[in-house]
């Protein structure tokens, strides 16, 4: 698989998983949580790919050069998307009991006799308020990510159309090479002699 095709595949998997997480609801259901975990893995993989510079995957951080304004703005938008998605994922991870969801055995810190007593655990009203604020922050970060994605798409279509079209499966250089050379038009002199 060509390097750009790997990047395009990774990009679309990321987009589809993000949309699945976003539209699966924010009730904390298991599909939403597990899709969120898969998005955490994708973000971690993308960060590693950026750090080790895998061929075909553009850098995440902007490069400031004269004459490359559209590339710089595009990368700033990508970095903003990356940070916003990361904030969404971090707040999501903080909202759930990851050890319970992942089935990790933990030793109880609280004696079983006090396990049902909210005050003994320290989950008073102030902790519930913190949970509510965390949930609002999670929702805000997710909505911000969606808005930044729309701005990213609009910017690419306005200023880097060729790159945007190449990201759509079935278009771009791969589709052109499969269709073969364009048929030649009949010459004017040959058409008039018939």
Q: What percentage of the chain carries pLDDT values higher than 70?
A: 73
- 178, pLDDT greater than 80: no
- What is the arithmetic mean of pLDDT over 38-61? 87
Q: Read off the pLDDT of residues 86-132 as tens digits, 9 standing for 90 and up.
A: 999 999 888 887 777 777 755 555 555 555 544 443 444 444 445 78
Give pLDDT tens digits for 66-90.
Answer: 777 878 888 899 999 999 999 999 9
Taking residues 190-194, what's their average pLDDT?
43
Angstrom distance (rounded) from CA 141 to CA 88: 5
Report field, pTM of the whole predicted structure over 0.85: no
pLDDT digits (tens, 9 = 90+) for 138-147: 999 999 999 9
Domain boundaries, the chain: 3-102+126-168
Give the mean pLDDT of 152-159. 91
**Inter-CA distances, 51 with 42, 45, 54, 57, Å:** 14, 10, 8, 11
Average of per-residue pLDDT values in the chain: 77
For residue range 24-34, list pLDDT tens digits in order: 876 668 888 89
């Amino acid at each position: 698989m060509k390097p750009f095709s790997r990047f395009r595949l990774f990009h679309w998997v990321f987009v589809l998983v993000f949309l699945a997480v976003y539209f699966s609801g924010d009730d904390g259901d298991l599909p939403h949580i597990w899709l969120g975990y898969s998005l955490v893995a994708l973000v971690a993989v993308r960060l590693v790919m950026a750090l080790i510079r895998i061929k075909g995957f553009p850098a995440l951080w902007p490069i400031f050069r004269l004459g490359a304004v559209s590339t710089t703005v595009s990368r700033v938008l990508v970095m903003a998307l990356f940070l916003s998605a990361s904030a969404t994922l971090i707040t999501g991870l903080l909202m759930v009991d990851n050890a319970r969801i992942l089935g990790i055995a933990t030793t109880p810190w609280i004696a079983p006799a006090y396990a049902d007593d909210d005050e003994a655990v320290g989950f008073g009203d102030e902790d519930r308020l913190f949970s509510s604020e965390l949930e609002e922050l999670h929702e805000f970060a997710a909505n911000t990510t969606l808005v930044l994605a729309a701005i990213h798409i609009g910017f690419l279509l306005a200023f880097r159309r060729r790159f945007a079209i190449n990201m759509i499966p079935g278009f771009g250089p791969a589709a052109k090479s499969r269709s073969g050379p364009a048929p030649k038009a009949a010459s004017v002199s040959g058409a008039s002699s018939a």
